[in-house]
């Protein structure tokens, strides 16, 4: 193994006719890729959902696995060596901040990579401290990793990679799960480190504007194989605008679609007064919420990570009992039941309130897309015929028909999101509550979801969307509820910064 | 939600976990060898005195040791009801024969279970999973791949608890939350398994991306020391074992199970 000095020199990447086919799939995820990235270049990697951006990044990081995981085509080299042999030369940060915390304490987690590289103990702790400082994570090394917010976890993952002093920093949508403040923090931390170490940087992100200030090259992968565009950011974005947009790339200062004015007819569905919400009795994460949800309107609930937005959404859905205050359904929503949604039976919720969870995987129950869509209508005891009609219509509208027999877990991120929305509207609820419906989606999926939600709104459905997405709030939502940063007494006691 | 780290605060928390586990072994061997009331009672008295002296009295009487106090009499009662009959019959009902002999075995079993489980539970509550992994890998030289893999898996238990709660809500939202507890739990357990496998896969990738499993001699950021404190604790464990055996032999109640 080379010493620490050699490891920190910027790395070069070269691909010749490179491709990868996941085991069990007929079509390769990526193929026919030719590219050279020089030491110290900072590259923004673009491409439509499913074009194989992540596969390329995992390939460069050397973590795609062996022959049982898939088949490699052509040649991919990091510093002239196969990536798996060059492990430690590159550091990869994944999209999901939860999934990459390895150890229970902050310091131990950053030290983990250094231990694996065989760095002597005396050298480890100074490097840990330095890495934590460079990402701006100002916490004691004994701090529990379970108590970090999403933004803090993502910075921790970054610190864990930076401490290894890789010559190549690989970031796979590192800011997709973060609030706007967290996005800037992580972006700035990356910029600072790239400046200090001169390391080569490759970052995947749908939203170009975030990373544009710090990259010097844009590469767009073509979903049909090979490259769509490659060059200096300004040039590529100007010359290939329409192709990039068609490929789902989120161009700077571009909103994919804007909603028309809402219908004039509207009535209250749900009213909250002095509402306290929390997942555990006696420990409200948020108190004193005043809100009104109306039919034919889209309400955006915004605020930084950890202020209790998701908990509020679950309470409005009738899934959690309010911990205090009052949440009352109007007659139009309750239609014959008592006015407290948490008292309703599971089946009674179906035609009244639909819920789309933050992670679609949590709500999938069956082995195929069609069966998944039938769950709700079946619980409502609809006839075979009307069930089939509803499901076929949804498959069609959401462009999922060709996937009707596929397992929901094998869909792409955008497809999973569309399916989770479809399952919630299959029972025609009067109120639809969505948690982060647009996060991590490319511009194409974003536009489809926006059109779908606005269509429901125009039919008189009331919609609540918890979101960090400024474009969604600006172009789609009719009203906005902001939850601020002030912390309730019990949340401060528990020392949690994440909800 | 996570597996709490316990290192700060508790007495003995900084002691190498390997020593704590090792210290309980001699007594366990002695108490497995003999089935008598005296040896186990002596051991329990020693344990209570020792734990109180080192400041673990609070933990000893906390609700966290409650399972021991509940489980031990239960095993004892089953021995009273179904143990090999001997001596005068006290009560007879179908397959149940309560005899003088079976009552004796029942009481002996109860104190034996307490004497073995109590130190195990109390000492384990002072063990931080990270320290245990360090001890297993550095002191006992177990393969780091195995030890760290297990440690990472343990961290996922915390996410599984969160997943379970969300799955519960999701089923209610999907209109299938009204069915019976057993049926619902079965389906939910399957969903949890699917999620756990996916999380495990991602975590494995994240670990690999940080050089885990690379062909390098791994170093350890935290030193697992093994000094006089550790040897003292093992010594104390041996003394307790010796004391309970000696007292039992002296009063003549030593009763090796195969004799």
Instruction: Quote the Cα angle for B214-B216-B221, to 5°.
Output: 100
Residues B137 and B50 in one domain: no
Residues B120 and B22 in one domain: yes
CA distance A163 to B67: 44
pLDDT at residue A482 is higher than 50: yes
Residues B121 and B142 in one domain: no
pLDDT at residue B202 is higher than 90: no
In a domain, B60, yes or no: yes
> Are the Cβ atoms of B211 and A92 closer than 8 angstroms?
no
Q: Token pair of B130, please?
A: 């990270």
Give the model's confidence band at A153: pLDDT under 50 very low, under 70 low, under 90 confident, else very high: confident
Among B128, B175, B187, B207, most A C-beta atoms within 10 A, so best to mutate, is B175
CA distance A476 to A216: 33
Tell me how close the Cα of A173 comes to any Cα of chain B, in angstroms.
Answer: 14
Tell me how close the Cα of B162 comes to any Cα of chain A, in angstroms.
Answer: 11
> Are the Cβ atoms of A363 and B174 closer than 8 angstroms?
yes
Over range B91-107, report the average pLDDT: 85
From chain B, pick out residues whose CB is under 8 angstroms from the CB of A61: 209
Give residue-wise pLDDT tens across range A271-296: 999 999 998 888 898 999 999 999 99
Q: Helix/strand/coil (H, E, C) string of chain B?
A: CCCCCCCCCCCCCCCCHHHHHHHHHHHHHHHHHECCHHHHHHHHHHHHHHHHHCCCHHHHCCHHHHHHHHHHHHHHHHHHHHCCCCCCEEEEECCEEEEHHHHHHHHHHHHHHHHHHHHHHHHHHCCCHHHHHHHHHHHCCCCHHHHHHHHHHHHHHHHHHHHHHHHHHHHHHCCCCCCCHHHHHHHHHHHHHHHHHHHHHHHHHHHHHCCCCCCCCCCCCCCCCCCHHHHHHHHHHHHHHHHHHHHHHHCCCCCECCC
> Are the Cβ atoms of A87 and B8 closer than 8 angstroms?
no
């170009």: which residue's tokens?
A: A208
Buried b (16+ CB within 10 A) or exposed e, A238-275: eebeeebeebbbbbeeebbeebeebeeeeebbbbbeeb
- Measured CA to CA in angstroms, residue A114 lies from A152, A410, A450, A465, B214 at distances of 20, 34, 45, 42, 12
Residues B38 and B117 in one domain: yes
Residues B108 and B135 in one domain: no
Residues B25 and B85 in one domain: yes
The rounded mean pLDDT for chain A is 87
Tell me how close the Cα of B17 comes to any Cα of chain A, in angstroms.
Answer: 17
From chain A, pick out residues whose CB is under 8 angstroms from the CB of B163: 362
Q: Answer whether A227 touches B (CB < 8 Å).
A: no
- Picking from A174, A183, A193, A182, the residue whose alpha carbon sits closest to that of residue A57 is A174
pLDDT for residue A314 = 95
Which residues 400-419 of A have a C-beta within 8 angstroms of B? 409
């130190």: which residue's tokens?
A: B119
Give residue-wise pLDDT tens across range A362-416: 999 998 999 999 999 999 999 999 999 999 999 988 888 988 998 898 887 778 8
In a domain, B255, yes or no: no
- Measured CA to CA in angstroms, residue A9 lies from A39, A88, B233 at distances of 8, 12, 49
Residues B105 and B154 in one domain: no
- Measured CA to CA in angstroms, residue B152 lies from A65, A99, A109 at distances of 19, 11, 11
pLDDT for residue A174 = 85
Give the model's confidence band at A145: pLDDT under 50 very low, under 70 low, under 90 confident, else very high: confident
Coil/strand/helix, residue A51: coil
Coil/strand/helix, residue A297: coil
Residues B78 and B120 in one domain: yes
In a domain, B59, yes or no: yes
pLDDT for residue B8 = 52
Q: Identify the domain containing residue B150 by its residue range.
A: 131-209
From chain B, pick out residues whose CB is under 8 angstroms from the CB of A413: none
Give the model's confidence band at B258: pLDDT under 50 very low, under 70 low, under 90 confident, else very high: low
pLDDT at residue A8 is higher than 80: no
Residues B117 and B232 in one domain: yes
Helix (H) / strand (E) element for A191: namely helix A180-197
Give the model's confidence band at B91: pLDDT under 50 very low, under 70 low, under 90 confident, else very high: confident
Tell me how close the Cα of A144 comes to any Cα of chain B, in angstroms.
Answer: 8
From chain B, pick out residues whose CB is under 8 angstroms from the CB of A88: 211, 214, 216
In a domain, B178, yes or no: yes
- Measured CA to CA in angstroms, residue A410 lies from A394, A405, A493 at distances of 19, 11, 41
Over range B112-130, report the average pLDDT: 91
The phi and psi torsions of A482 (rounded to 5 degrees) equal -100, 125
> Are the Cβ atoms of B172 and A99 closer than 8 angstroms?
no
Tell me how close the Cα of B215 comes to any Cα of chain A, in angstroms.
Answer: 9
Residues B162 and B123 in one domain: no
Count of domains forming chain B: 2
Q: Token pair of B104, please?
A: 């004796």
Q: Which of A87, A99, A359 sits opposite B206 (nearest CB)?
A: A99
In a domain, B256, yes or no: no
Over range B215-238, report the average pLDDT: 92
pLDDT at residue A485 is higher than 70: no
More confident residue, B98 or A319: A319
pLDDT at residue A489 is higher than 60: no
Residues B50 and B111 in one domain: yes
**pLDDT-above-90 percentage for chain A:** 51
**pLDDT-above-90 percentage for chain B:** 46
Helix (H) / strand (E) element for A209: namely helix A208-211
Sign of the alpha-carbon torsion through B12, B15, B21, B23: negative
From chain A, pick out residues whose CB is under 8 angstroms from the CB of B178: 345-347
Which residues 278-297 of A have a C-beta within 8 angstroms of B? 279
Give residue-wise pLDDT tens across range A42-54: 999 988 777 788 8
Which residues 20-79 of A have a C-beta within 8 angstroms of B? 58, 61, 63
pLDDT for residue B259 = 56
- Measured CA to CA in angstroms, residue A403 lies from A386, A395, A412, B13, B198 at distances of 21, 9, 11, 54, 21
pLDDT at residue A3 is higher than 50: no
């309750």: which residue's tokens?
A: A334
> Are the Cβ atoms of B221 and A115 closer than 8 angstroms?
yes
Q: Token pair of B184, please?
A: 């619902």
Residues B41 and B105 in one domain: yes
In a domain, B221, yes or no: no
Give residue-wise pLDDT tens across range B48-82: 999 999 988 888 888 888 999 999 999 999 888 88
Q: Answer whether A349 touches B (CB < 8 Å).
A: yes
pLDDT at residue A492 is higher than 50: no
> Are the Cβ atoms of A346 and B176 closer than 8 angstroms?
yes
Nearest CA in chain B to A162: B210
Sign of the alpha-carbon torsion through B70, B71, B76, B82: positive
Highest mean pLDDT among A110-124, A300-314, B145-159: A110-124
From chain A, pick out residues whose CB is under 8 angstroms from the CB of B171: 346, 365
Domains of chain A: 4-246 (3.40.50.300), 268-494 (3.40.50.300)
In a domain, B219, yes or no: no
pLDDT at residue A460 is higher than 60: yes
Nearest CA in chain A to B158: A146
């Amino acid at each position: 193994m080379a010493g620490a000095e050699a490891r920190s020199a910027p790395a070069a990447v070269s691909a010749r006719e490179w491709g990868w086919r996941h085991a069990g799939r007929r079509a390769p995820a990526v193929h026919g890729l030719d590219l050279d990235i020089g030491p110290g270049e900072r590259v923004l990697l673009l491409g439509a959902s499913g074009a194989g951006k992540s596969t390329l990044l995992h390939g460069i990081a050397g973590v795609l696995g062996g022959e049982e995981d898939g088949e490699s085509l052509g040649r991919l080299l990091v510093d002239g060596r196969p990536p798996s042999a060059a492990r430690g030369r590159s550091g990869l940060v994944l999209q999901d901040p939860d999934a990459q915390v390895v150890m229970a304490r902050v310091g131990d987690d950053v030290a983990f990579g250094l231990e694996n590289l065989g760095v002597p103990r005396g050298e480890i702790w100074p490097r840990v401290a330095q890495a934590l400082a460079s990402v701006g994570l100002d916490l004691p090394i004994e701090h529990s990793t379970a108590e970090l917010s999403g933004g803090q976890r993502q910075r921790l993952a970054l610190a864990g990679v930076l401490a290894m002093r890789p010559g190549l920093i690989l970031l796979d949508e590192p800011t997709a799960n973060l609030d706007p403040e967290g996005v800037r923090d992580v972006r700035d931390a990356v910029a600072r480190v790239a400046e200090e170490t001169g390391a080569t940087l490759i970052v995947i992100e749908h939203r170009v504007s975030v990373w544009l200030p710090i990259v010097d090259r844009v590469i767009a992968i073509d979903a049909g194989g090979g490259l769509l565009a490659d060059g200096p950011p300004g040039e590529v974005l100007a010359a290939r605008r329409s192709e990039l947009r068609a490929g789902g790339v989120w161009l700077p200062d571009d909103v994919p679609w804007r909603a028309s004015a809402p219908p004039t007819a509207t009535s209250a569905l749900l009213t909250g007064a002095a509402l306290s919400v929390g997942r555990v009795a006696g420990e409200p994460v948020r108190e004193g919420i005043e809100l009104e949800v109306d039919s034919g309107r889209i309400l955006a609930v915004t605020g930084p990570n950890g202020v209790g937005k998701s908990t509020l959404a679950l309470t409005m859905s009738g899934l959690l009992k309010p911990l205090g205050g009052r949440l009352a359904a109007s007659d139009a929503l309750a239609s014959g039941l008592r006015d407290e949604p948490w008292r309703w039976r599971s089946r009674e919720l179906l035609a009244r309130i639909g819920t789309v969870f933050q992670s679609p995987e949590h709500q999938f129950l069956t082995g195929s897309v069609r069966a998944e869509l039938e769950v709700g209508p079946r619980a409502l005891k609809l006839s075979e015929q009307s069930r089939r009609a509803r499901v076929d219509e949804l498959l069609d509208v959401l462009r999922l028909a060709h996937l009707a027999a596929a397992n929901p877990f094998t869909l792409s991120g955008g497809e999973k999101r569309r399916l989770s929305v479809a399952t919630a509207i299959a029972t025609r609820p009067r109120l639809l509550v969505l948690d982060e419906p647009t996060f991590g989606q490319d511009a194409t999926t974003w536009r489809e979801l926006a059109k779908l939600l606005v269509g429901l709104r125009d039919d008189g459905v009331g919609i609540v969307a918890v979101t960090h997405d400024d474009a969604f709030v600006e172009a789609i939502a009719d009203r906005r509820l902001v939850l601020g940063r002030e912390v309730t007494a019990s949340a401060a006691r528990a020392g949690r910064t994440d909800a | 939600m996570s597996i709490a780290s316990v290192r700060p605060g508790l007495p003995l928390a900084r002691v190498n976990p390997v020593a704590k586990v090792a210290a309980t072994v001699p007594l366990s061997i002695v108490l497995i060898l003999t089935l008598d009331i005296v040896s186990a009672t002596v051991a329990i008295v020693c344990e209570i005195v020792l734990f109180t002296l080192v400041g673990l009295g609070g933990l000893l009487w906390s609700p966290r040791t409650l399972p021991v106090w509940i489980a031990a009499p239960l095993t004892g009662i089953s021995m009273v009801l179904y143990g090999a009959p001997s001596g005068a019959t006290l009560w007879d009902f179908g397959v149940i024969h309560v005899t003088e002999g079976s009552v004796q075995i029942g009481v002996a079993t109860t104190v034996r279970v307490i004497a073995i489980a109590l130190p195990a539970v109390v000492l384990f509550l002072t063990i931080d999973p990270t320290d245990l992994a360090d001890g297993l890998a550095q002191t006992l030289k177990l393969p780091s791949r195995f030890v760290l893999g297990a440690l990472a898996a343990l961290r996922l238990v915390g996410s599984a608890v969160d997943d379970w709660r969300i799955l519960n809500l999701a089923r209610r939202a999907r209109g299938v939350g009204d069915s019976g507890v057993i049926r619902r739990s079965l389906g939910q357990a399957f969903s949890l398994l699917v999620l756990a496998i996916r999380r495990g896969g991602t975590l494995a990738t994240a670990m690999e991306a940080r050089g885990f499993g690379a062909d390098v001699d791994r170093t350890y950021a935290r030193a697992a020391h093994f000094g006089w404190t550790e040897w003292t604790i093992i010594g104390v464990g041996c003394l307790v074992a010796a004391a309970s055996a000696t007292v039992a032999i002296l009063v003549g109640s030593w009763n090796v199970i195969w004799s």
